[in-house]
Every structure is written in C-alpha cells, then in structure tokens.
Structure 1
Amino acid sequence: MDLNVFPAEDTDGLVALSTMEDLDRYTYLVAGCVGEFWTRIAVGRVSLKEWDVEKMSGIGVRFGKALQLTKSSVTSPAICAGRCYLPADELSVAGLTPEDLLHCANEPS
C-alpha cells in the first residue's frame, strides 16, 4: 500500500492517507493480519484448544492494528520521508494539513 499511495523517499512531497478507511486498511495489512496469523498459530497448541478461534483472531487483529496506530501516529521519520499515516480528512477537521505536522510549533505543549 505504501508503494501505491506515498511518493518515493527520494522525491519531494508529503502525502497523507485520505480517509479513516484507508488507515484501517493500512493497519490491517501491516499489523492486523500478523495478529490474526499468530493467533491461529497459537490455537494449534494443545493448551489453547479451548479458545474460540474467530473471537481470538479478531482480538489479535485489533491488537496488531492498535500497535501500528500507536507507531504510525508518532513516527516523525515517516513524515520526513513524505508519508503521513494520519488521514487528511481527519487532519482537516482539526484545522491541520500533513505539512503542519512537520513543524514543532504545532506539537501539544
């Protein structure tokens, strides 16, 4: 998804994901599916046979996505490389643009 949405690191420009749906898809692709995968692997263990696979897989997806959201929202190297994972429509509601995130003056005190 990064390759389709964001500019190459050697080019100028800053691009944000467009919507919360895009952010949800991104976090699933990079981390949510990992939580789902490892949950299904763990269920294969004898001591976890009583787990509800679907329920625990859903929890694994949410956990992985939450970790990625935390990482993505505070990663300034990504912003400097032209990738803003915070959706443009949500930034707009807050009166911000992706470029505003490059300026320390816009950080909460």
Structure 2
Amino acid sequence: MTEQSEQEREQFAQFEKDGEERVRLNLKNYRYPHAAEALAIRWLAPKNEAAAQRREALDTEQIELARRTTRSAKEANTIAWIALAVAVAALVLSIFLAIRGHGAA
C-alpha cells in the first residue's frame, strides 16, 4: 500500500468536510474529475462496508423480532383456544345443571 500523497489527503479532507451524502451525490452527478472520482470511490469504500454491516445487523435484529412476535402470537393463540375450551365446558356444564335442575322439580 502506498503512502497517501498530500493531494489525496487534501481531497479526503474535502470529502470529510462535504460529507458522505454530498460526495455520493457529486459522484452520481459526475461532478468530479476522473482522479477525484477514483478517490471519492476509495474514500466511500469503508463507509459502504460499515453501512452494509449496519444493514446486516438490522436485518438480523428484524428477523429475531419477527421470530419473537410469531412465538408470542402462537402463545396468545394457544391461550385463546384454552379459554374457548373452558368457556364451552362452562356452557355445557351450566346447560346440564339447568336441565337437571328443571327435571328434579
């Protein structure tokens, strides 16, 4: 790896001053001469890698959140089915007791 020239350091300092968003916009709109364009791409490379790592971490987080949400929904569904079964059993028992109570009279 070669040592950065003074001109490269100055250009990188200008990129830092301009900020990532403006550098990307300038690249997109072909506002840099060829040499500066190559430096801009080189300057953005580690930032692109960091952004990719952040996206990957976010994707992993979202997948885990979706899994937890699915588990919670399944648990809630199970509880609802149990509640339904208890309600049906209570209804059947109350009907049975009502019929039995009228028959004894």
Q: What's the TM-score, normalizing by structure 2? A: 0.29
For the pair shown, which has the larger CA radius of gyration, 1 or 2?
A: 2
Q: Relative contact order (alpha carbons < 8 A, sep ≥ 6): 1 or 2 greater?
A: 1
TM-score with structure 1 setting the length: 0.29
